[in-house]
Chains A and B, each alone.
Chain A
Amino acid sequence: MKTAPKPSFKQKLWSSLEPAILILLRDIILFLIVLAALVIGYAGLGALKAFGMPPERLAILETIHFYAYLAVASIFLLDMVVKIVVEIFKGKL
């Protein structure tokens, strides 16, 4: 009768991290996509500046852009904390 091979350190680490990573992975990918969109928006602002858009109008767009970054980052952090807490209560972690 064969005995199951002893799990390696990597396997042990993955099995302990897997639930948390799977829970957060979807949101991390979503956050990165939104972040990429905002970076493209930032490049667009740079282009508008280069084309000579008046600085006072550009300032309003930059304000919107900054708050969009902040809002997305805040929501992501909030979501991450809430999810972890909920999963701890459910007993999955």
Chain B
Amino acid sequence: MRGFVYAFSIVTAVVYAVIRTVAFHKPERQVSFEMMAWLLILNVVAVLIYCVRHISVAQRAYTFPVWLRYAGIIACIILLGAPHVSISTVQAAIINQRLESAARSVEPDKAAKLPDKQLETRFRKISAIANASITYKIPANPELMNKAQISIEETLRAANPRSQSVRNSGVAAFSRQQPSGWNERAYYFAGSRPNREYDAFASSVEELRMVARLTRREHHLCDALSRITACFPRFTEYHRHLQ
């Protein structure tokens, strides 16, 4: 029994500490204290359970089945712990974990020599993560976003993919990491309230600029902007400013 309690508490404590460190990026010192507290609590609970099961103080009129006692203890722990669990923190941790893994998959030394198809899939994955973060207002770690951005930029430069769709997906992934900056500037220069039409325009221009800059095809930018502004005559002034 004692050996089982030790083994169980060590395994659960290690799993808990690893999750807190790897997924939630908590400092090692804090996690160490939490882990020791967890070990202490688990062992005290084990001693209490042992006492309840083996030391009879008085003749009891009724007893609960063993499974019900354990289920009750677990339910009490969950009920006591539930108010302290922040859903948004958990969501942010999941987003950060996925973003970190996705950013690692597009690091230049790994991704530069990949076939276009695989590269596009990885870029799209980053875009999807960023979209989920923006849509559901889940705050992602800015350092990770910056890291992902740098990786995408360097990979695009190193790989210089031929396929337009790969470039577009890379740039989309890059621009999703900074959803506010460029669009805000665009709104400012246009002097109008943001609307869906303008949003689409600003997003297209932004992506084209990124494609041109990252793939060193600046001369394509003017043609592309002309085509876009022809569709949106209201933004001629803005187009002029960009040129």
Contact = CB atoms under 8 A, between A and B. Distances in A.
B6 A79 contact: yes
Contact of B14 (A60, A67, A78, A79): A67
Contacts of A64: 14, 18
A67 B17 contact: yes
A16 interface: no
- In which size bucket is the chain B interface? 10 to 19
A72 B10 contact: yes
A75 B35 contact: no
Contacts of B14: 64, 67-68, 71
Interface string A58-93: 001001101110111011001100100000000000
B43 interface: yes
B36 interface: yes
B105 to A, nearest CB: 11
A80 B13 CA distance: 19
A66 B9 CA distance: 16
Interface centre among A66, A68, A72, A75 (most CB of B within 10 A): A75
B39 A75 contact: yes
B21 A71 contact: no
B104 interface: yes
B131 to A, nearest CB: 25
Given A64-B14, A67-B13, A67-B17, A74 B39 contact: yes
Contacts of A68: 10, 14
A4 B16 CA distance: 59
A5 to B, nearest CB: 41
Contacts of B21: 63, 67
B13 A71 contact: yes
A69 to B, nearest CB: 10
A71 B39 contact: yes
A78 B47 CA distance: 13
Interface of B: 6, 9-10, 13-14, 17-18, 21-22, 28, 31-32, 35-36, 39-40, 43, 47, 104
7 A-B pairs with least C-beta separation:
A67-B17, A71-B10, A71-B13, A67-B14, A74-B36, A74-B39, A68-B14
19 contacts: A56-B104, A60-B22, A63-B18, A64-B18, A67-B13, A67-B14, A67-B17, A67-B18, A67-B21, A67-B31, A70-B17, A70-B35, A70-B36, A71-B13, A71-B17, A71-B39, A75-B9, A79-B6, A82-B43
